[in-house]
Structure 1
Amino acid sequence: MPQDQWYYCLVHHAVEPAEGCKAIERLGPYPTREEAEQALQIAQERNEEWDNDPRFNDEDEDDDEGGSAFDALKP
């Protein structure tokens, strides 16, 4: 694993190198320490993009149909 990868630890709220907490407790990898420091903001922006992406917007569908979010991806 390259040493120039950085992670944001969700437990300690800190940036750490590859040798850190368990993967499930971290966001990343990021190519720079500075980018890892912005991990929560990056995640929020990506979530907002997904929430507003019409390919994944199922407001017009009935939620009681039992389908999954992945059904929209089927051809």
Structure 2
Amino acid sequence: MSVERPEWWYCLRHHRVEPREGCKNADRLGPYPSREDAENALAKVAERNEAWDNDPLWNDDLDEDDR
């Protein structure tokens, strides 16, 4: 018997954390394993975007000499 673990999403439309029964997935980020992780979804997105923006292997704005 498997135990279903709760999953949480961050709703981009309502700017709040939701359980499985919430808005459609196109309007939210997740699932996350905990409510706290979902609450920090936008911070994690910003952190990853910053890392990717500054990664020379993925930065299309850099010249070949800058890589």
With the shorter chain as reference, the TM-score category is 0.7 to 0.9
Structure 1 residue 32: Cα displacement:
0.2
Q: CA RMSD in A?
A: 1.3
Gaps spanning 5+ residues in structure 1: where?
62-75
Gaps spanning 5+ residues in structure 2: where?
none
Of residues 35, 53, 56 in structure 1, which corresponds to 2:55?
A: 53
Confirm or deny: 8 A CA contact 1:3 1:18 kept in the other structure: no
Q: Equivalents in 2 of 1:3, 1:13: separation in Å?
A: 23
Identity %: 63
TM-score, normalised to structure 2's length? 0.80
Confirm or deny: 8 A CA contact 1:3 1:17 kept in the other structure: no
- Give the number of aligned pairs: 60
SS in 2 for 1:47: helix
SS in 2 for 1:12: coil
Structure 1 residue 55: Cα displacement:
1.1
Query: Which residue identity does 1:45 align to in structure 2?
Result: E
**Greater than 2 Å deviation, 4+ residue runs:** none
Q: Equivalents in 2 of 1:41, 1:50: separation in Å?
A: 14
